[in-house]
Structure 1
Amino acid sequence: MTDRITLTGLRARGRHGVYDVEREHGQDFVVDVALELDLGPAAGSDDVRDTVHYGELADRLVAIVTGEPVNLIETLADRLVGACLADTRVATATVTVHKPQAPIPHEFADVAVTLTRGR
């Protein structure tokens, strides 16, 4: 599959993490998504119903990030990739969850987990 929809830099505040302070105060999470699917039908019809509506997908992903807390971003990424694959047109989904404010006592740019799942 060579067709792809990407959504990059989706930011939402969640309360995920192992430490109490992460649950109490929350922090920003940044999500990148790449979906592989056949975009030929949408290109031919010019109809949003023939593709993954990325605005609606963003709403579902933000609801997960802002929803029920989990300990690990691996678990969060798994929930997000599951939401992407809920649309049966998606053959493969890659989700990266960035945790730029992770409680690490050293200077760092980012912590991220990437999952790729397919049918």
Structure 2
Amino acid sequence: MDCIRMKEMEFYGYHGVFPEETKLGQRFRMNVTLQLSLQKAGKLDDLQYSVNYGDVYNLCKEVVEGTPVKLVETLAERTTAVIFQQFTHVQAVTVEVIKPDPPIPGHYKEVSVEVTRERTAYE
């Protein structure tokens, strides 16, 4: 299966378990991998057989900058669901949601959740 990868998309949202997260908000980064056949798009040089990256970015932005939720797991699941709804020829999706600045003590670069889903789970 071929892949389209979008890396390090960055958004601002009000998600989290702690009150300060939902009040102040924070940055979220997202990596998305779409699995689909790109053979026909490549042979015909036609976007209708691929996926418009701008549309994927806008869907991710709507989820992350939209209705607040407690868990990044929820953001990942919602993103996966809207991608499958919007792009019918995508067969599998991997979404990684990254919190670079979670309000927990310690020294680390970031925390993240990654989910991989196949279209058959949404049919």
Please give the TM-score of this superposition, normalised by the length of structure 2. Answer: 0.93
Deviations 1:7-62 (A, max 9, x none): 00000000000111101110000000001100011111211122110111101111
Which aligned pairs between 1:63-102 and structure 2 lie closer than 5 A? Answer: 63-86=62-85, 87-102=87-102
Runs of 4+ in structure 1 off by over 2 angstroms are none
For residues 43 and 70 of structure 1, the distance between their equivalents in structure 2, rounded to whole angstroms, comes to 39
How many angstroms does 1:67 deviate by? 0.2
Please give the TM-score of this superposition, normalised by the length of structure 1. Answer: 0.96
Whichever residue aligns with residue 35 of structure 2, its letter is E
Q: Which residue in 2 is equivalent to 1:40?
A: 39
Structure 1 residue ranges without an equivalent (≥5): none
How many angstroms does 1:85 deviate by? 1.6
Secondary structure of the equivalent of 2:114? Answer: strand
Q: CA RMSD in A?
A: 0.8
Structure 2 residue ranges without an equivalent (≥5): none
For residues 19 and 78 of structure 2, the distance between their equivalents in structure 1, rounded to whole angstroms, comes to 22
Whichever residue aligns with residue 96 of structure 2, its letter is T
Q: Which residue in 1 is equivalent to 2:7?
A: 8
Overall identity of the aligned pairs, in %? 39
Whichever residue aligns with residue 114 of structure 1, its letter is E
